[in-house]
A and B are shown apart, each in its own frame.
Chain A
Amino acid sequence: MSEPSIFFSEVNERQGVFNRRAFLMGGLAGGTILALGGRLAQLQLLEFDRYRLMSTENQFNFRLIPPPRGRIMDRFGVELASNRPNFRVLVVRDEINDIDATLDALSQLIPITPERRRQLLREISRSPKLVPVAVAEDLTWEEFSRVNVRTPELPGVTADMGEARVYPHGGAFAHVVGYVAKVSDRDVAAAGLNPDPLLHHPGFRIGKQGVEKALDTVLRGKSGAVKTEVDALGREVRKDPEGDINPVAGKTVVLSLDADVQSRALEVLGEESGACVVMDIQSGDLICMASAPSFDANQFVKGLSTADYRALSDYERRPLLDKALSGTYPPGSTFKPMTALAVLDSGMVDPNETIVCSGQMWFGNRFFHCWKRGGHGPQNMHEAIKNSCDIYFYQTALKIGPDRIARVAEAFGMGQTFDIGISGQKAGLVPSTAWKRRQYKQPWYPGESLSFGIGQGALSANALQLAVMTARLANGRKALNPRLIKSIGGVETPSGAAAADLPFKPEHMEMVRSAMAAVANDTTGTAYRASQLGLGPVLMAGKTGTAQVRVISRAERASGVRTNESLPWRLRDHALFVAFAPYDAPRYALSIIVQHGGGGAAVAAPMAREIMRVVLLKDAAIRARIESPLPMPEAPVPAAGEVEGEAPPPPSETILPVAAPILSGGPTP
């Protein structure tokens, strides 16, 4: 192709076209750049706030710092629940590419069993992407530092030092102090729409029972946060101490309990199933509230295996149940002081008047038996309480009717729950004519009064109520309220002594108390041998109770009532004892229930004595009195003199718990 020669006109034409087009192109480029400027204005000026927020969210990360959980202490400052350091290794799924490789690397450093590994993989896949999962807890310092050194090479793995709850007394306070455990889905649901972010923290444990549950939010404190600048991979670049929020530690809770007494009570109850409550008669403070058998609360903090949990929940003696509050039992003869007070208050029976006990009485169409075959002979009220004569109380209860007895029982705390700060109390039941009508649409049958009079029938109470009953009787004036939580965060809770007066005559209560002293200190009292404290002038008063749980047939009665030892555990009698001491200047009240334990005098009273001894010896004023060489100048202890130097009573008299009063028509508890 020959090259065309370029003519001048053409040169001009081409230049003209080019210039126009170049201008057009420049305009196009200028317009585009202007459009880019407009877009910049939109992003940087109009939508600035939105993007600034997004940038801040990218840049800063608030890492939750769990607050130290508040300690729980006994009245003398002994720790019942505290925290110990817990070295853990956590992984965050979102930051891990290959979870298997990460676990492989970790298992080089810390022991991870294949079983644990499977469990972990399940846990990790189930948890939200950003929530850390604990691979291992309670590591030794060596293991912890081994992982800590390697964390830069293991993205998504952090070694951190948390705190774990520890219960130094193991099982002694498992019911009343309770325990903390992993947060369940139900806990999260219960937290409502805006749950505390702590609930999702891997180390966090929530209160599940007792004080730990009731005061969970108080003990929990407020979480803090560490503000850190992170890069795109989530790695911490800088800390920003000014942006940190310090955690607020949970408040310390002081209980009225005494760790020594509580531990002794658990020890004394041993393998038995039961509960013991000790109460201060002046302040209403609960010195002891034990339930046996117990369990190690520390196990729940770590997480209990299904097998272990099943072992606890399936055991016949119900270790998981707080029997002091939620176990209600027929009080049996421990209720007789209440019947006696109702009788005195009614004025319908002269307490000195005697009723002859022949061992049985015919009422309705059947016999009602006294626990003592052959009977007690003529009994006045004092003797009837001392000997726990059933016939006397059958007769008097029949005379005064159930509603008078119910009024006394309710005034002394039965059939109700107390505000002691923790849940789980069962109110039990105080029967009355109104109750019978309401519940069964039936009139009260006089036969029921007989059972009611000796603390059986529909009547039921828990150990706390029996302790309150005894404390109020021993106080003689005030309707004391029990107090469990002494102070929260240094703020004292209201005392249990701020209560109304009991609507009964002090001399009537004194008569009942002196009969209870005879139970424990008269050589013929039902609990004489079991109630001697051996603390010199300081004596205990009490009342035994043996509550029957089965119907004794006429044939069995004829051939001799079977002993508790010959019966299966669940058919044996409940052994009960209520006591207060010192008798002459009451300071502590105690109740003990041994479920299916046998006789109150043989089983419950010796336990009560052991526990009461610790209680009294820990009281400085009482201890001084015991240790003083001379007796108090005006100690009005009528029973004490008689006891001195007397020979122990014959064994047949003291080992008496087997026989129990026969029930009338009422249902067996």
Chain B
Amino acid sequence: MTASAITRPGERDRLIVKLAQIDWTLMLVLCLIAATGAAMLYSISGLSWEPWAAKHLVRFGLCIGMMIVLATVDVRLWFMSAYPVYGLGLVLLIAVEIMGDVSLGAQRWLDLGFVRLQPSEIMKIGLVLALARFYHGLSAEAAKFSWRLVVPVVLIALPTLLVAHQPDLGTAVLLASSGGAVMVLAGLSLRVVVALAVTLAASIPPFVMFVLHDYQRSRILTFLNPEADPSGSGYHILQSKIALGSGGLLGKGYGLGSQSQLNFLPEKHTDFIFATLAEEFGFIGCISVLLLFAAAITIALRIASVSHSHFGRLGAAGVTATFALYVMINGAMVMGLAPVVGVPMPLLSYGGTVMLTVMVGFGLVQSVRVHRYSEITSGRGTLL
């Protein structure tokens, strides 16, 4: 198998050729992150596979399989399914709005009987796909600044507002940010970007004071002054910082993190798993994991940049932006630099839905790599 095989139509559609074109380095990095997550889950459940570690690994195994399958799906099929997936996500979000389960004080889940579905997760992929699909047919000039940008703005605004209304602030911020990232990647005028950023910054205080729910507001106010109420809402941030700080350079040792083992750390297996890692493996462990994330982001962006199709570029980069946002928001939250919003650390935290979303996203990235020479000649795209 040579590099030329991928460039020849017919030849490149063979499964074996496709599999060879999957970026196995990226695959390895993702596996390392997930394995670290499993190791931490094994540790915090008292060195036991139950209840989290085993499930985490099994799910990741299934997700890897799915990712390989998705990697072989022609990028033009992704292209064609962009709007339908977005549409489906939107319909489900509206359905949740009307008749969703209320759990943990927020309408986030749709009970389909056999599976509990979180439509906002579908939307994370759907939004990136739809934006990439839209920009694929847009000239660089129009992407810079034109009236046609109303379309991506509406595409972003609809799901963001629906999710924010559930209310799931973290996901809403994530959707808006990754959508915005795709717009910037597509070439939105930097002057507009700066202007928007300033407007956004100015609108945050009134937004916090008048739009947010009480618990959301208190989380944000607590973030600004965590010491005000150490046993109340400041507790999470404080305990997380204690876990991090007490880890020191080398950590307390595997399975010996008192903050997580003794439940001082809240949500230790999901949102705050990075604090557990920090406590048991210290600064060295943290930096290693952050480097893995950085490696995944770099590789994915390189894949995006070598794609021949604009859709592939924006899709892969948009997914990467979402992934990077997860890492940055969660990291900042755990370290006391951002308010506590329910954003997990991808692949490290326990939780099937987010893992599925992220791995579907990387499936797209791999597909873009495998099909990097495929041209999508028209806006409609062709399969063959």
Q: Could you list which residues of chain A lie within 8 angstroms of chain B, going by C-beta atoms? A: 3-4, 6, 10-11, 13-15, 17-19, 21-22, 24-26, 29-30, 32-33, 36-37, 39-41, 43-45, 47-48, 50-52, 54-56, 58-59, 229-233, 237
Contacting A at CB under 8 A, from B344-384, are 377-380
Chain B minimum-CB-distance residue to A238: B262
* Those 5 A-B pairs whose CB atoms lie nearest each other, nearest first: A51-B245, A55-B246, A3-B379, A59-B258, A231-B262
> Are the C-beta atoms of A14 and B187 separated by less than 8 Å?
yes
The chain B residue with its CB closest to the CB of A48 is B248
Task: Please report the C-alpha to C-alpha distance between residue A58 and residue B324 in the assembled complex, in whole angstroms.
Answer: 33
Interface string of B135-154 (1 = CB under 8 A from A): 00111100100000000000
> How many residues belonging to B are interface residues under a CB distance threshold of 8 Å?
54
Contacting residue for A14 out of B140, B246, B249, B331, CB 8 A: B140
Determine if B187 and A230 form an interchain contact, defined as CB atoms under 8 angstroms apart.
Answer: no
With A43-B245, A58-B264 as contacts: A15 and B313 at CB distance below 8 Å: yes
- Name which of B14-22, B78-86, B281-289 contacts chain A: B281-289
Pairs across A and B, CB under 8 Å, 24 listed: A3-B379, A4-B138, A6-B377, A10-B140, A14-B139, A17-B186, A21-B185, A22-B185, A22-B305, A25-B185, A25-B321, A26-B298, A29-B294, A37-B290, A40-B244, A44-B282, A44-B283, A44-B286, A45-B248, A47-B245, A48-B249, A58-B258, A59-B262, A229-B258
B53 at the interface (CB under 8 A from A): no
In the complex the two chains form, what is the Cα distance from A15 to B143 in whole Å? Answer: 12
Q: Which residues of A contact B185 (CB under 8 A)?
A: 18, 21-22, 25
In Å, the complex CA distance between A40 and B313 comes to 33
Give 13 new A-B contacts, CB below 8 A, not counting A26-B297, A30-B297, A44-B286: A6-B137, A18-B317, A19-B305, A25-B321, A33-B293, A36-B335, A37-B286, A40-B244, A44-B249, A47-B245, A55-B246, A56-B246, A233-B263
The CA-CA distance from A561 to B379 in the complex, in Å, is 136
B328 interface contact, C-beta 8 A: yes
Interface majority SS (helix, strand, loop, mixed), chain B: helix
A29 adjacent to B297 (CB under 8 Å)? yes
Interface contact B287-A40, CB-CB below 8 Å: yes
Q: Do B140 and A48 touch (CB < 8 A)?
A: no
Q: Smallest distance from the beta carbon of B144 to chain A beta carbons, Å?
A: 8
Interchain CB contact under 8 A, A51 and B241: yes
Q: Is the CB of A13 within 8 A of B140?
A: yes
User: Which residues from B are CB-within-8-Å of A18?
Assistant: 185-187, 304-305, 310, 313-314, 317
**Which chain B residues border A232 with CB–CB below 8 Å?**
262-264
Contacts of A44 in B (CB 8 A): 244-245, 247-249, 278, 282-283, 286
Nearest B-chain residue to A28, judged by Cβ: B324
Q: A14-B310, A25-B301 are in contact. Are A33 and B294 (CB under 8 A)?
A: yes
A43 touches B244 (CB 8 A): yes
Given contacts A41-B283, A45-B283, A231-B262, contact A52 B248 (CB under 8 A): yes
Complex Cα–Cα for A54 and B331 (A):
21
Cα-based distance from A43 to B242 in the complex (angstroms): 9
Q: What is the bound-complex CA distance between A10 and B243, given in angstroms?
A: 52
Cα of A3 to Cα of B377 in the assembled complex, Å: 11
Q: How far is the CA of A43 from the CA of B262 in the complex (A)?
A: 21
Tell yes or no: B73 within 8 A of A by CB: no
Given contacts A25-B301, A26-B297, contact A40 B139 (CB under 8 A): no
Chain A residues with CB below 8 A from B247, complex form: 44
B184 interface residue per 8 A CB criterion: yes
Query: With contacts A32-B328, A40-B283 known, is A11 near B184, CB below 8 A?
Result: no
> B259 in the interface, Cβ–Cβ < 8 Å?
yes
CA distance A48 to B242 in the complex (A): 9
Please, what's the 1-or-0 string for B235-277, where 1 marks a CB less than 8 Å from any CB in chain A? 0000101111111110000000011001110000000000000
Closest chain B residue to A237 by CB distance? Answer: B262
A45 CA to B290 CA in the complex, in Å?
Answer: 17
CA distance A24 to B321 in the complex (A): 12
CB–CB A55/B258 < 8 A: yes
Q: Does B174 contact A (CB under 8 A)?
A: no
**Chain A minimum-CB-distance residue to B184:** A21
Q: Are B242 and A55 in contact (CB under 8 A)?
A: yes
Give bound CA distance, A230 to B259, whole Å.
11
B332 CB–A CB distance under 8 Å: yes
Give the docked Cα–Cα distance between A47 and B336 (Å): 14
Query: Please, how many angstroms separate the alpha-carbon atoms of A59 and B278 in the complex?
Result: 17
B262 close to A52 (CB less than 8 A): no
CB distance from B11 to the nearest CB of A (A): 24
Chain B residues in 8 Å Cβ range of A17: 140, 143, 186-187
Asked whether B327 is an interface residue with its Cβ less than 8 Å from the other chain, the reply is: yes
Shortest Cβ gap from A669 to chain B (Å): 65
Minimum CB distance partner of A5 in chain B? B378
In the complex, whether B176 has a CB less than 8 A from a CB of chain A is no
Instruction: Let me know if B262 and A54 touch, CB within 8 A.
Output: no
Check B102 for interface membership: any CB of A closer than 8 A.
Answer: no
Q: Which residues of B contact A230 (CB under 8 A)?
A: 262
Q: A3-B379, A41-B283, A231-B262 are in contact. Are A25 and B184 (CB under 8 A)?
A: yes
Question: Is A11 a contact partner of B310 (Cβ separation < 8 A)?
Answer: yes
User: B337 within 8 Å of A by Cβ?
Assistant: yes
The answer for the CA separation of A55 and B317 in the assembled complex, in Å, is: 41
Asked whether any CB of chain A lies closer than 8 Å to the CB of B90, the reply is no
Q: Mark B213-255, 1 if CB is under 8 A from A, else 0.
A: 0000000000000000000000000010111111111000000
CB distance from A26 to the nearest CB of B (A): 5
A58 and B245 contact, Cβ closer than 8 Å, known pairs A25-B181, A30-B294, A32-B328: no
Contact call A55/B290, Cβ cutoff below 8 A: no
Q: How far is the CA of A513 from the CA of B338 in the complex (A)?
A: 96
B137 near A3 with CB under 8 A, answer yes
Name the B residues within 8 Å of A22 (CB-CB).
185, 301, 304-305, 313, 317
Looking at the assembled complex, report how far the CB atom of B31 sits from the nearest CB atom of chain A, in whole angstroms: 20
Most chain B C-beta atoms within 10 Å of own C-beta, residue among A30, A56, A232: A232
Instruction: Give the residues in chain B near A52, CB-CB below 8 Å.
Output: 245-246, 248
Q: Tell me, rounded to whole Å, the shortest Cβ–Cβ distance linking A31 to chain B.
A: 10
Given contacts A3-B379, A44-B282, A48-B248, contact A58 B242 (CB under 8 A): yes
Task: Please name the residue on chain A nearest to B313 by beta carbon.
Answer: A18
Given contacts A18-B187, A22-B305, A232-B264, contact A36 B331 (CB under 8 A): yes
